[in-house]
Structure 1
Amino acid sequence: MYRFSETTGQTGGPLVLTFHGTGGSADQFHALASDLVPGAHVISPQGDVSENGAARFFRRTGEGVYDMDDLAQRRAAMRYFVSAAIAQVRPSRVIGLGYSNGANILAAMMLDGSRLFDQAVLLHPLIPWTPPDNPAMAGVRVLITAGRHDPICPAPMTQGLADALAGMGADLDLHWHPGGHEIDRSEIAAIRKALDA
């Protein structure tokens, strides 16, 4: 069972699920989500994998090298958690927002299985494999934000993920900033614009 933060929104309102980056917590984006989507239900799970004391959503064996078996198990567990949250809240739409490791578990859920999210914000994702086509992505609104000089999530891999999602029929928007792995102020503006659309 995940530890998570939860804010109850308006009946019939949207549900926002947030997923923190490595070393973050359930609270990293929780308040921001309430600010970005007023009246929304917000649920923010905390990763249950410890990497030298830093919370993550799945194991890795090196920078950008994932334990794919562990990822498959953790992805399935998170899909169950998200499905249960949707069933309980019965929202008008479901939005996912994740940063770095959180963006990766969010993307992994979206790329495998039936549709869970109507909209997703992936901040600095890294998917180091070629994702197979998933028809469930058709029509899903996705914003990817990234740094042109991100040493953790290289720009060509970010572009590759964007191209793959667009090829699956996702309504894809890609926002670049000139820096690295940090979250730039312009990304927050891009997120607000995407969620207000």
Structure 2
Amino acid sequence: MLTDTYHALTKSPEPGAPLIFAFHGTGGDETQFFDLAGQLLSGAGVVSPRGDVSERGAARFFRRTGEGVYDMADLARRTEAMAEYVAEHKARHPESPVYGFGYSNGANILASVSMARPDLFDRIGLLHPLIPWTPEPVPALAGRRVLITAGQRDPICPWPATRALVDWYADQCAEVATEIHDGGHELRQPELLALQTLVSAP
């Protein structure tokens, strides 16, 4: 029996439908994207976990020591734990493809999991991610569908870092799509439409 340390909201997929993981941003919780995930594709299952790190009361998925400065040892531990959690859910629904999307801190843990365990997610939506290091190559990401969205004036996730991440996934031969706006850290409707396309496309 799966022990849920992330206090996730869950919904089982209909037969053959995808299982979608939804990862909130800093200060969000398991409710932030649960309904959205269910609306993206009829019949899809949803797992929407709550980050197990508290930053002055704000839930996160890993620790940081400053804006854009990550505790890399903590990130490694929590990436491993999240990967195991996803794998347990995946094993419970072997007929379902597994998709994931996350916003901000949620995008970062999802990206880190995809780098550590490229076998877990078939499609990945990274909304305003920040990966402030150069990842090692992960050839097993070849063929995975990846969406990356961003704001070119985002003060939290600088555009050059996002562009480098887009290039990195492309270098792994992932199928990368982007949705970029001229604003900041806010989510805009075209990003959500791009996410729906990622999830619902054949």
Identify the match of residue 137 of structure 1 among 137, 141, 150: 141
Identify the match of residue 113 of structure 1 among 90, 114, 117: 117
Gaps of 5+ in 1: none
Residue 19 of structure 1 aligns with which residue? 23
CA distance in 2: counterparts of 1:110 and 1:178, whole angstroms: 27
CA distance in 2: counterparts of 1:194 and 1:44, whole angstroms: 18
User: 1:114 offset after TM fit, Å?
Assistant: 4.1
Residue 58 of structure 1 aligns with which residue? 62
Residue 6 of structure 1 aligns with which residue? 10
Given that 1:146 and 1:181 are in contact with CA atoms closer than 8 Å, whether structure 2 keeps it comes out as: yes
User: 1:112 offset after TM fit, Å?
Assistant: 1.4
CA distance in 2: counterparts of 1:5 and 1:178, whole angstroms: 33
Instruction: Determine helix, strand or coil for the equivalent of 1:71.
Output: helix
Residue 99 of structure 1 aligns with which residue? 103
CA distance in 1: counterparts of 2:118 and 2:170, whole angstroms: 17
Report the RMSD for the aligned CA atoms in angstroms.
0.9
Aligned residue identity for 2:82: M
CA distance in 1: counterparts of 2:115 and 2:8, whole angstroms: 23
Given that 2:34 and 2:48 are in contact with CA atoms closer than 8 Å, whether structure 1 keeps it comes out as: yes
Q: Summarize deviations over 1:117-142 as a string: whole Å, max 9, x none.
A: 00010000000000110012110000
Identify the match of residue 50 of structure 2 among 27, 46, 51: 46
User: 1:92 offset after TM fit, Å?
Assistant: 2.7
Q: Summarize deviations over 1:133-153 as a string: whole Å, max 9, x none.
A: 001211000000100100000
User: 1:108 offset after TM fit, Å?
Assistant: 0.2
User: 1:51 offset after TM fit, Å?
Assistant: 0.1
Moved more, 5-14 or 59-68: 5-14
Residue 131 of structure 2 aligns with which residue? 127
Query: Pairwise mapping of residues 156-175 of structure 1 onto structure 2 (< 5 A)?
Result: 156-175=160-179
CA distance in 2: counterparts of 1:80 and 1:195, whole angstroms: 23
Please report the TM-score for the alignment, with normalisation by the length of structure 2. 0.95
Q: Summarize deviations over 1:18-53 as a string: whole Å, max 9, x none.
A: 100000001111110110011011001100000000
Aligned residues: 197
CA distance in 1: counterparts of 2:118 and 2:28, whole angstroms: 28
Structure 1 segments, 4+ long, off by >6 Å, are none
Given that 1:15 and 1:91 are in contact with CA atoms closer than 8 Å, whether structure 2 keeps it comes out as: no
CA distance in 2: counterparts of 1:191 and 1:74, whole angstroms: 25
Gaps of 5+ in 2: none
Moved more, 183-192 or 61-70: 183-192
